[in-house]
Amino acid sequence: MIASLFYFELESVLQRSEGKYIGRGHLFCSIRRNDPAFQLLFDRLSRNSAQFWINGCPVIDVDDSCFDSGGNFRKQVELNTDNRFAIGLKQDSSEFCNISGSPFSITRLILLQGFCAVFGRLDHRKRRSSGRWTADRWARGVSYGRGHYQHVRISFSAEPGLSWPEQKQRGVT
């Protein structure tokens, strides 16, 4: 199905107002501009007057405004919705077809995209060493349901700002 070639990503964590989530996201196509199928796909969508729908309402026509500076499909979407919403593609008189992953849950998208990473970095890479001595420990964090625990790395230094040899020389350790 053509609709499954498209996916949605949040731009950032959405704001919550009066029980609704408000914010932006982007629609993308998994086929990139340099793929020979890209031009065929968008020629077909243009011929068939394709539209993207959110929760049963048409919001985006597939036209020249749907492409970024590199020529890839990328269209900004404004959201004002409850926790769950559906995005789909409709061509001419055909039925509405959900894009990849739709229907969506805002809370699940936030989790999947790593916007809820409280500790450390969003990409979960190690930070570069600051040159001072630290002892790393892994602590079992608070349960977040069904016996699953979040593990948290705890770093501490005997005297902040001093390297290990300096601390050893001063007898701080």
Residue 69's SS3 state is coil
Asked if residue 130 and residue 96 are part of one domain, the reply reads: no
pTM here? 0.64
What's the CATH number where 61 sits? 2.60.40
Domain count for the chain, please give it: 2
Alpha carbons 106 and 87: distance in angstroms, whole number: 13
Predicted confidence at residue 142, as pLDDT, reads 42
Q: Is the pLDDT of residue 109 over 60?
A: yes
Look at residues 92, 112, 132 and tell me which one is the last residue of a structural domain.
Answer: 112
Look at residues 112, 131, 159 and tell me which one is the last residue of a structural domain.
Answer: 112
Predicted confidence at residue 108, as pLDDT, reads 82
The mean pLDDT of 133-155, rounded to a whole number, is 44
Q: What share of the chain is helix, strand, coil (3-state, %, to 5)?
A: 20, 35, 45
What is the end-to-end Cα distance of the chain in Å, rounded?
64
Asked if residue 98 and residue 147 are part of one domain, the reply reads: no
Asked if residue 106 and residue 22 are part of one domain, the reply reads: yes
Alpha carbons 27 and 35: distance in angstroms, whole number: 18
Distances (CA, A) of 123 to 6, 114, 117, 129, 137: 24, 8, 9, 17, 20
Asked if residue 47 and residue 71 are part of one domain, the reply reads: yes
Asked if residue 125 and residue 86 are part of one domain, the reply reads: no
Q: Which residues form the domain of 168?
A: 117-173
Q: Which residue has the higher pLDDT, 61 or 170?
A: 61
Look at residues 90, 112, 134 and tell me which one is the last residue of a structural domain.
Answer: 112
Asked if residue 132 and residue 81 are part of one domain, the reply reads: no
